Amino acid sequence: MALVKLKEFCIPESPGQVSACAAKYGDNALILGGGSFIHGLEARGLLSEVEALIDIRKLGLAGMAATGEGVRIGAMTTFAELEKLPELASAAWLGALKDALTYPPMQIKNVATVGGCIAASCPFFDIPTAFLALDAKLTVSGAGAKREIGLAELFAGLFENSLEPGELITEVRLAKPAGRAASAFIKLEGTANDLAIVNAAVRISVDAAGVCQEVRIALGGGVGDSVVRSASAEKLLLGQKLSADLIQHAAEAVGQDISPMEDHRATAAYRLAMAKVITRRALNQALSRLN
Amino acid sequence: MKQLISLEVNGDTHEIAVEADATLLSVLRDNLGLIGAKRGCDSGGCGCCTVHVDGKAVYSCMMYALSAQGQEIVTIEGLGTEGKLDPVQDTFVKEGAVQCGYCTCGMIMTAKQLLHDDPHPDEHAIRHGIAGNLCRCTGYHKIVEAIKTAADN
Ligand SMILES: Cc1cc2nc3c(=O)[nH]c(=O)nc-3n(C[C@H](O)[C@H](O)[C@H](O)COP(=O)(O)OP(=O)(O)OC[C@H]3O[C@@H](n4cnc5c(N)ncnc54)[C@H](O)[C@@H]3O)c2cc1C
Ligand code: FES
Ligand code: FES
């Protein structure tokens, strides 16, 4: 957390004050959400030039609301607050988010924010994988202008996002899918307090005849520089009547869309094998929630 | 460059001059002499620095002291009253849930929130709840037992 060049710790109370601090320090200003990944970035040598921290907890960006259309989550909502969203307990289409939120330890859930977990652009986190399968849309605002982007557009490589200096994620929106939909998430982890070896989230909609109307399959955790969708697996399922064989076949296909890495957590071969296994399990878990 | 901040710790207000990148843990230990919260990994991996901020267990090594302004901080020193341990502390002692003691203060702060959120946790909930706290001595068994007993009492 030590920032050798730090000159200023700003705690803005309005968007104008954010812009003022961002304008003064440009690329060397760092937004501070819950702060739980600052060490992670610093330890990788990514924060050596930071001159200003902009702590955004006083901007009123925490809070969430569910409507018939879906869920809106303020960027500073912590995981612990999000877990209390009543819809998480009841709505099958949000199952992936509910599952993903069970993994981080209590002390992280109490501080980690929805905006921070996304902006960190860390493929090893769990909640972003769930958000990708849930087709999350982001509201991003900077000096004056506001824009809406899809989650995938935010990721610009390992620990890199596409935000301009002074731009913030202010809100995450999850639209409720049409029809009968359910989602699920699974993380493979070495220990309870570690980041994912691999993780997978799926959302699937099925009609009364058991035909897949829509599907999203997202993978994270050492399978690429960013969390990724598996277009190959999705294509195999879309429009088809689902069977155990087809699900197995689709799960195998995720191998075509990921680039598993080798590190202290696992070999690339193990990641590849387990990505297929947990995708199959996540698909089955989501389908079991449809009934 | 140091700046003057005000922190509310265990019911007392402290005016302290800190570096802008000082963590809450370093201010508690090095400026205020509250050495109950331990510096283990200093990187969110062990939990022995756990304190409460506005009633929530957090890793004090992962929070900037400046971010903790305006919030109520409670450390292990703030539990119990003069001459009388908090019931969870008392149970840890009586159940022998302490060996070297390095993890204990953080473990108890986590157990406090766990029992606050779920007054009657089963074993799985206890083990899941303390997953962010490492103990290298006890093998966890006695810690889990102590939390169960504290819940029963
Ligand atoms: C011990 C430990 C265990 C963990 N376990 C898990 C786990 O099991 N599953 C999991 O999914 N994750 C886990 N994590 C990761 C955790 O999810 C992230 O650390 C957290 O989500 C980051 O959010 P934050 O609010 O703390 O972000 P910060 O640390 O404040 O910021 C992270 C990055 O995002 C930027 N940022 C923050 N907010 C915004 C915003 N609104 N707009 C633009 N940029 C912003 C910051 O500038 C920084 O670059 C773990 C982390 C630790 C330390
Ligand atoms: S010292 Fe804070 S988690 Fe280890
Ligand atoms: S008692 Fe020694 S680390 Fe837990």
Q: What percent of chain B has pLDDT over 70?
A: 100
> pLDDT tens across B83-96, in order?
999 999 999 999 99
When pLDDT is averaged across residues A150-172 and rounded to a whole number, the result is 95
ipTM for the predicted complex comes to 0.97
User: What part of A 47-106 touches B (C-beta under 8 Å)?
Assistant: 53, 55, 57, 80, 102, 105-106
Same domain, B8 and B74: yes
Which ligand lies nearest the alpha carbon of A168?
Answer: 1
CA of A215 to the centre of ligand 1 (A): 27
Same domain, B74 and B101: no
Same domain, B62 and B117: no
When pLDDT is averaged across residues A194-207 and rounded to a whole number, the result is 96
Give the per-residue pLDDT at B89: 97
Give the per-residue pLDDT at A181: 97
Give B-chain residues touching A80 at CB under 8 angstroms: 56
What does the alpha-carbon distance between residue A197 and residue A214 come to, in Å, rounded to a whole number? Answer: 27
Question: What CATH number does the domain containing B52 carry?
Answer: 3.10.20.30
Q: What percent of chain A has pLDDT over 90?
A: 94
What φ, ψ does residue A167 adopt, rounded to 5°?
Answer: -85, 140
Same domain, B60 and B96: no
Per-residue confidence band for A193, with pLDDT thresholds at 50, 70 and 90:
confident
Q: Are A3 and A45 in contact (CB under 8 A)?
A: no
Same domain, B37 and B17: yes
Give domain A59-175's CATH architecture.
2-Layer Sandwich (3.30)
What's the pTM?
Answer: 0.97
Q: What percent of chain A has pLDDT over 70?
A: 100
Q: Are A178 and A203 in contact (CB under 8 A)?
A: no
CA of B44 to the centre of ligand 2 (A): 5
| Domain region containing B20 | 2-78
User: What part of A 149-178 touches B (C-beta under 8 Å)?
Assistant: none
Is pLDDT of A144 > 80? no
In CATH, what number does A8-57 get? 3.30.43.10
Provide CB contacts within 8 A for B68, sequence distance 6+.
Answer: B7, B24, B53
> pLDDT tens across A1-31, in order?
889 999 999 999 999 999 999 999 999 999 9
Is pLDDT of A136 > 90? yes
What does the alpha-carbon distance between residue A42 and residue A124 come to, in Å, rounded to a whole number? Answer: 16
Q: Are B127 and B140 in contact (CB under 8 A)?
A: yes
Is pLDDT of B17 > 90? yes
Residues within 6 Å of ligand 1 by CB: A 30-38, 41, 75, 103-105, 108, 111-113, 115-117, 119-120, 125-127, 163, 168-169, 193; B 44-45
**Is B106 touching ligand 2 by the criterion CB < 6 Å?**
no
Give B-chain residues touching A51 at CB under 8 angstroms: none
The mean pLDDT value of chain A amounts to: 96
Provide the shortest C-alpha distance from residue A125 to chain B (in Å).
Answer: 15
What does the alpha-carbon distance between residue A63 and residue A115 come to, in Å, rounded to a whole number? Answer: 12
Is pLDDT of A83 > 80? yes
Instruction: Show which of B45, B60, B78 is a domain's final residue.
Output: B78
Q: How many domains does chain B have?
A: 2
In CATH, what number does A180-290 get? 3.30.390.50
Give the per-residue pLDDT at B24: 98
Per-residue confidence band for A166, with pLDDT thresholds at 50, 70 and 90:
confident
Provide the shortest C-alpha distance from residue B153 to chain A (in Å).
Answer: 23
Give the per-residue pLDDT at A126: 98
Partnered with residue A215 across adjacent β-strands are A204
Q: Structural domain boundaries of chain A? A: 8-57, 59-175, 180-290
Cβ contact, residue pair B43, A106, below 8 Å: no
> pLDDT tens across B5-16, in order?
999 999 999 999
Give the per-residue pLDDT at B153: 87
Q: Give the number of C-alpha atoms closer than 13 A to the C-alpha of residue A166, restricted to the C-beta side.
A: 18
Is pLDDT of A150 > 90? yes
Same domain, B9 and B74: yes
Same domain, B8 and B52: yes
Concatenate the DSSP letters of all residues of A86-114 into one string.
HHHHH-GGGHHHHHHTTSS-HHHHTT-BH
Give the per-residue pLDDT at A145: 85
Provide the 8-state DSSP code for A209: T
